C-alpha cells in the first residue's frame, strides 16, 4: 500500500464481534479468562489492550516497522529506550535537543549512571570521533527542535554501523512524521514520536510511540512497557488512530503554509534569522530535499532586535497563532523557546546551542494562509 492508504488501512482489520469499521474503545482494565489452563489473547490492559493494539499496528505500518508501542507520552517512550541500557553506557546525542529530552538525560538518567556526550549531529566526523567502547546509543532528532537542523540519517547510520554494528541508533521523528521521512528505511533501529504532535494532530491527547524492526529489541521494549507501565490509554489510542487517518492531507497543508510563512519572514525588515529547511539558504537544504518528502510545518526565527523584550512584545501582539506549549495541531501555535520548551536548559547551554532570547518557534497550522500572514504582519508592525 502507498502511504495515504496505509494511514487509513495499515495494520487494521474490521472488528470481529460487531463488524465495526472503526476500532472500538475497549475501556476496560481486565479481561475474563474462560479457562485457568488457557490464556486468552488479552488478560490485563497494562500488558495489551485491543484499542492500543490497533494503534500500535498502525504505527508499525506507517513507519515500515514490524512492531509499534504506544506510551503515555513522548518522554515515556524515550525513557523506555534508555531503560534498555545499564550504568556506564554512553549515549551520543545532538547539542540541539528538545528541552524535555535534555532534562530527562541530565536530571534523571545521569543520576542512574548513564553517560551523555553532546555533539553537532550535522557532522558525521564529530559523531565518529565521540564513539568509544562505552557507546551504546546514538540519539538523533531531525529536524531539530527548535533550530530545525537536518541530520543525514542514512549517512550517520552507515558510518556508525561500520564502526560498531551493535550501537543502536534512535531517531526522534516527531517534526517530520512518517509522511515526510521514514528513518527505519534509512538504517535506524528505533523511531520515536511524540504522538501528541502531528500524529494526533488535534491538540487533544498526550502520547508517545516507539517503532522498531528487530524482533529481539521489540521483545525488550514490550517487557519494559509492561513492567514499567507507562502505557497509552484506550481513549487516547482511539484519538491517535483517528488523527493518523488524516495525517497525509494535514501534512500537505502544514507544509504548504510553512513555506509561505518562511518566505514572508525572510523578507520582513524586522526579522533577523529564519530557520526553515525549505529555504535554499538553509545549510542543510540539500540533505532535507534528499531525505524528506517535504520540509515540515515548523518555522523558527529571531528578531533583529534580539532582546527578550522585543520577543515578548511580538508574542503579546499576535492573535491567530496561539501562545502555547506543544505543536503539530491543526491550529497555529507560537512558542518562546527560552521560557517555554527549553526553559529547563541552563541559559549558557541554551545560548551555546544557538537558542537565543529572541528565538520564536511557529507551528504553522492548516488555516487559510492569508489570515496567518496578516496576523504575522500585524504583530511585527507594532
Instruction: Please say if the pLDDT value at position 61 is more than 90.
Output: yes
Count of other CB atoms within 10 angstroms of residue 255: 19
Q: What is the mean pLDDT of residues 182-195?
A: 98
pLDDT confidence of 353, banded at 50, 70, 90?
confident
The answer to whether the beta carbons of residues 299 and 258 sit under 8 Å apart is: yes
The answer to whether the beta carbons of residues 142 and 170 sit under 8 Å apart is: no
pLDDT confidence of 85, banded at 50, 70, 90?
very high
Instruction: Please say if the pLDDT value at position 16 is more than 90.
Output: no
pLDDT confidence of 38, banded at 50, 70, 90?
confident
Q: What is the dihedral of CA 322, 326, 331, 334, to 10 degrees?
A: 40
Say what the pLDDT of residue 8 is.
97
Alpha carbon distance 112, 105 (integer Å): 10
Percent residues over pLDDT 70 in the chain:
100
Q: What is the pLDDT of residues 211-232, one digit of tens each?
A: 999 999 999 999 999 999 999 9
| 98 catalytic residue (yes or no) | yes
Q: Which of 6, 52, 96, 98 is catalytic?
A: 98
Query: Max CA-CA distance within the chain?
Result: 74
| 102 catalytic residue (yes or no) | no
Q: Name the grid cell of 265.
A: 519572514
- Mean predicted lDDT score pLDDT of the chain: 96
According to CATH, where is 3.40.640.10 located in the chain?
A: 3-242
Q: What phi and psi, each to the nearest 5 degrees, are found at residue 225?
A: -60, -45
Q: Which of 197, 213, 293, 350 is catalytic?
A: 197
According to CATH, where is 3.90.1150.10 located in the chain?
A: 248-381
Q: Which of 79, 172, 189, 236 is catalytic?
A: 172
Say what the pLDDT of residue 347 is.
87
248-381 classified as CATH 3.90.1150.10: yes
pLDDT confidence of 350, banded at 50, 70, 90?
confident
| 250 catalytic residue (yes or no) | no
| 197 catalytic residue (yes or no) | yes
Which residues have C-beta within 8 Å of that of residue 12, sequence separation ≥ 6?
23, 54, 57, 58
Say what the pLDDT of residue 133 is.
97
Percent residues over pLDDT 90 in the chain:
91
pTM: 0.96
Q: What is the mean pLDDT of residues 14-22?
A: 92
Say what the pLDDT of residue 124 is.
92
Q: What is the pLDDT of residues 241-253, one digit of tens each?
A: 999 999 999 999 9
Q: Domain 3-242 carries which CATH code?
A: 3.40.640.10
Amino acid at each position: 500500500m502507498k502511504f495515504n492508504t496505509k494511514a487509513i488501512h495499515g495494520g487494521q482489520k474490521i472488528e470481529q464481534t460487531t463488524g465495526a469499521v472503526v476500532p472500538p474503545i475497549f475501556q476496560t482494565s481486565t479481561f475474563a479468562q474462560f479457562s485457568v489452563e488457557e490464556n486468552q489473547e488479552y488478560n490485563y490492559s497494562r500488558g495489551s489492550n485491543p484499542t492500543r493494539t490497533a494503534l500500535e499496528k498502525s504505527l508499525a505500518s506507517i513507519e515500515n516497522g514490524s512492531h509499534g508501542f504506544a506510551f503515555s507520552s513522548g518522554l515515556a517512550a524515550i525513557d523506555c529506550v534508555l531503560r534498555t541500557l545499564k550504568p556506564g553506557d554512553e549515549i551520543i546525542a545532538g547539542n540541539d535537543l528538545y528541552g524535555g529530552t535534555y532534562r530527562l538525560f541530565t536530571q534523571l538518567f545521569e543520576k542512574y549512571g548513564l553517560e551523555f556526550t553532546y555533539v553537532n549531529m550535522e557532522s558525521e566526523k564529530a559523531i565518529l570521533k565521540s564513539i568509544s567502547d562505552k557507546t551504546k546509543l546514538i540519539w538523533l532528532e531531525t529536524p531539530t527542535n527548535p533550530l530545525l537542523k537536518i541530520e543525514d540519517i542514512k549517512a550517520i547510520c552507515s558510518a556508525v554501523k561500520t564502526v560498531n554494528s551493535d550501537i543502536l541508533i534512535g531517531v526522534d521523528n516527531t517534526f517530520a512524521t512518517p509522511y515526510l521521512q521514514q528513518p527505519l528505511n534509512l538504517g535506524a533501529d528505533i523511531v520515536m514520536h511524540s504522538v501528541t504532535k502531528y500524529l494526533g494532530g488535534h491538540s487533544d491527547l498526550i502520547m508517545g510511540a516507539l517503532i522498531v524492526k528487530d524482533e529481539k529489541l521489540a521483545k525488550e521494549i514490550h517487557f519494559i512497557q509492561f513492567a514499567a507501565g507507562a502505557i497509552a490509554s484506550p481513549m487516547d489510542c482511539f484519538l491517535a488512530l483517528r488523527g493518523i487517518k488524516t495525517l497525509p492531507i494535514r501534512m500537505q497543508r502544514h507544509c504548504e503554509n510553512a513555506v509561505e510563512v518562511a518566505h514572508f519572514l525572510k523578507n520582513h525588515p524586522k526579522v533577523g534569522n529564519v530557520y526553515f529547511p525549505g529555504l535554499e539558504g538553509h545549510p542543510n537544504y540539500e540533505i532535507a530535499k534528499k531525505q524528506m518528502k517535504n520540509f515540515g510545518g515548523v518555522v523558527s526565527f529571531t528578531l533583529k532586535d534580539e532582546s527578550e523584550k522585543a520577543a515578548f512584545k511580538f508574542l503579546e501582539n499576535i492573535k491567530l497563532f496561539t501562545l502555547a506549549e506543544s505543536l503539530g495541531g491543526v491550529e497555529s501555535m507560537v512558542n518562546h523557546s527560552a521560557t517555554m520548551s527549553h526553559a529547563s536548559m541552563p541559559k549558557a547551554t541554551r545560548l551555546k546551542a544557538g537558542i537565543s532570547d529572541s528565538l520564536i518557534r511557529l507551528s504553522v497550522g492548516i488555516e487559510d494562509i492569508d489570515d496567518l500572514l496578516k496576523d504575522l504582519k500585524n504583530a511585527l508592525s507594532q
